[in-house]
Structure 1
Amino acid sequence: MRTAIVLFNLGGPDGPDSVEPFLRNLFSDPAILRVPGLFRGLLARLIARRRAPVAKAVYDKLGGGSPLLPNTQAQARALETELEDLGEVRCFVTMRYWKPFADETAPEVKRFAPDRIILLPLYPQFSTTTTESAFADWNRAATLAGVTARTFTIRDYPAEEGFVAAVSRLTAEMLPQARAAGPTKILFSAHGLPKKIVQAGDPYADQVGSSVRAVAARLGLTPEDYEICFQSRVGPLEWIGPYTDEEIVRAAQAGQSILLVPIAFVSEHSETLVELDIEYRHLAEREGAVGYFRVPTVGTAPEFIAGLGGLVRQALQPGGSSTSSSRMRS
């Protein structure tokens, strides 16, 4: 029995020359830039051209490109090991806005000739801007490539036990350091979304809350111990809040030590290694924070990989179908 698992993530530029094309792809997605198609291409090129210098400066701090692909490939290899009892299992990585694109990955899956396919987003919380967009792009590419194997879809897993256990352990390991510096505020930070997208019914913010509550319960935190906040906002639209940078300022001015926990990112990349580790650290220090600590992403943590394996096994249980979704909701 051959099983193909397709892992989805956002993607990132692999060098300075790919920064502007990556941004152009991002803003060309109708799930991201929700304007009529006639104008989207022109606007995407304009935004990409204007933002490229700033983005290049960010990736320069990472050696010129994003580490997201090799980090995701490491997760793929770990998951293959976790599932080796299922027969011949191969994980394929596909990225939404940079290589490997779905149009590259789908033919590889076709050549593997699997008996069954699992679509597994590396987004624990569902959003129309991430998971739904990635699935739509995959379905298009798979159809073009002639991929016909029965396909099972894992839609979301905001409170999946392994994910929650990994975040909780990593947080617990750093909590003593933060508390040693002073009274501690834990900031669970997720990538933000424009408020109008959430108001249109996107469940992402609610699912981020589910993830945080599950971790807080496991760690025995009270509501006063932590705050849910959102980072990476850009453009003139109002985004969901509270904003991570403003919560950092508030905690610093209150004389608190800050423990930053990425709750929606499962791999290290620019939003963690630059925005959280460099930019927000400088902000905290400038505002006089008594301490600033950042919890690592779950990466290949054994609990997380075992949790992903459990989701795959659940999706393959009798009753699964190519049109149903495997959901884990709190």
Structure 2
Amino acid sequence: MNKTGVILLNLGGPDSPGAVRPFLYNLFSDRGIIPLGPAFLQKPLAWLISGLRAKKTKEAYALIGGASPILRITGQQADALREALSDEGDFSVYVGMRYWHPFIEDSVSQAWKDGIRRLIGLSLYPHYSRATTGSTREQFDRVAGKSGLEATFISSWYDHPLYIEALVETIKRGLKGHETDGVHLLFSAHSLPVSFIEG
């Protein structure tokens, strides 16, 4: 019987100040997120922009300890999922990041070495966007396809009742002890260019 693997897919983030520029370069090199002129200019422009933005980005990360917490948090989610799935069968859980370590290709390779032949890619972006989930799915499909794994991808879960329930509980905790008359809640995802939204 083949084991099934689940790979939690996320953006990734620099794990040290020295990782900021290469992380930004990887991000800006992806035409699915930000097409920078003609395709042949994408990587040179990505290198230029990453260099121009590195200092300011390092300063921003310095305010939260010098590194992105995304790998730690995603690792905690993987541990919780592994525990939740332990009674359901023989599952292995991995973390794969789009723009920094552990890269999706590294995690898929590890899954193959571990004997995984069926892999479920779970995007940790609740709603679909071409710039996030779309780019991540393309990379996952490309890498999983080369490996020979039977792959499935879950691209969105924004309307799942348990997710909505978790949002409601978080809001209730946040409002506890505060006057709620006249309170308006604003839900905002990471901003997207209008051109992505319209087409």
1:67 maps to: 69
TM-score (norm 1): 0.57
Please list the CA deviations of residues 18-75 of structure 1 after superposition, one character each: whole Å capped at 9, or x if unmatched: 0011111101001112232111112111111111111111100111101100110110
The separation in 1 between residues aligned to 2:162 and 2:189, in whole angstroms, is 19
1:120 maps to: 122
1:167 maps to: 167
In the TM superposition, 1:155-304 aligns within 5 A as 155-179=155-179, 183-200=182-199
Sort the Cα spacing of 1:149 and 1:141 in 2 relative to 1 into closer, same or farther, 3 A.
closer
1:80 maps to: 82
SS of structure 2 residue aligned to 1:191: coil
In the TM superposition, 1:40-51 aligns within 5 A as 40-51=42-53
Please list the CA deviations of residues 93-150 of structure 1 after superposition, one character each: whole Å capped at 9, or x if unmatched: 0001110112211210111222421111001100111111111112222344x2x232
SS of structure 1 residue aligned to 2:171: helix
The separation in 2 between residues aligned to 1:63 and 1:115, in whole angstroms, is 38
Asked if the contact 1:80–1:89 (Cα under 8 Å) also holds between the matched residues in 2, the reply is yes
Unaligned runs of 5+ residues in structure 2 are none
2:8 maps to: 7
Give the counterpart letter for 2:149 in structure 1: A
Give the counterpart letter for 2:123 in structure 1: P
Asked if the contact 1:123–1:156 (Cα under 8 Å) also holds between the matched residues in 2, the reply is yes
Give the counterpart letter for 1:19 in structure 2: V
The separation in 1 between residues aligned to 2:143 and 2:120, in whole angstroms, is 15
Candidates 16, 40, 48, aligned match of 1:38: 40
Give the counterpart letter for 1:25 in structure 2: N
Unaligned runs of 5+ residues in structure 1 are 201-330
Sort the Cα spacing of 1:115 and 1:39 in 2 relative to 1 into closer, same or farther, 3 A.
closer
The separation in 2 between residues aligned to 1:78 and 1:132, in whole angstroms, is 25
Asked if the contact 1:178–1:184 (Cα under 8 Å) also holds between the matched residues in 2, the reply is no
The separation in 2 between residues aligned to 1:85 and 1:114, in whole angstroms, is 18
The separation in 2 between residues aligned to 1:106 and 1:168, in whole angstroms, is 34
SS of structure 2 residue aligned to 1:190: coil
Give the counterpart letter for 1:17 in structure 2: G
Asked if the contact 1:80–1:90 (Cα under 8 Å) also holds between the matched residues in 2, the reply is yes
Asked if the contact 2:141–2:151 (Cα under 8 Å) also holds between the matched residues in 1, the reply is no
How far the C-alpha of 1:183 sits from its partner, in A, is 4.3
Give the counterpart letter for 1:22 in structure 2: F
Give the counterpart letter for 2:162 in structure 1: G
TM-score (norm 2): 0.93
The separation in 2 between residues aligned to 1:18 and 1:133, in whole angstroms, is 21
1:305 maps to: none
The separation in 1 between residues aligned to 2:23 and 2:114, in whole angstroms, is 28
Could you say what the CA RMSD is over the residues aligned between the two structures, in angstroms? Answer: 1.5
1:258 maps to: none
Please list the CA deviations of residues 182-221 of structure 1 after superposition, one character each: whole Å capped at 9, or x if unmatched: 7433222210100011111xxxxxxxxxxxxxxxxxxxxx
The separation in 1 between residues aligned to 2:184 and 2:120, in whole angstroms, is 39
The separation in 1 between residues aligned to 2:174 and 2:138, in whole angstroms, is 39
The separation in 2 between residues aligned to 1:5 and 1:41, in whole angstroms, is 31
The separation in 1 between residues aligned to 2:19 and 2:12, in whole angstroms, is 11
The separation in 1 between residues aligned to 2:32 and 2:43, in whole angstroms, is 13
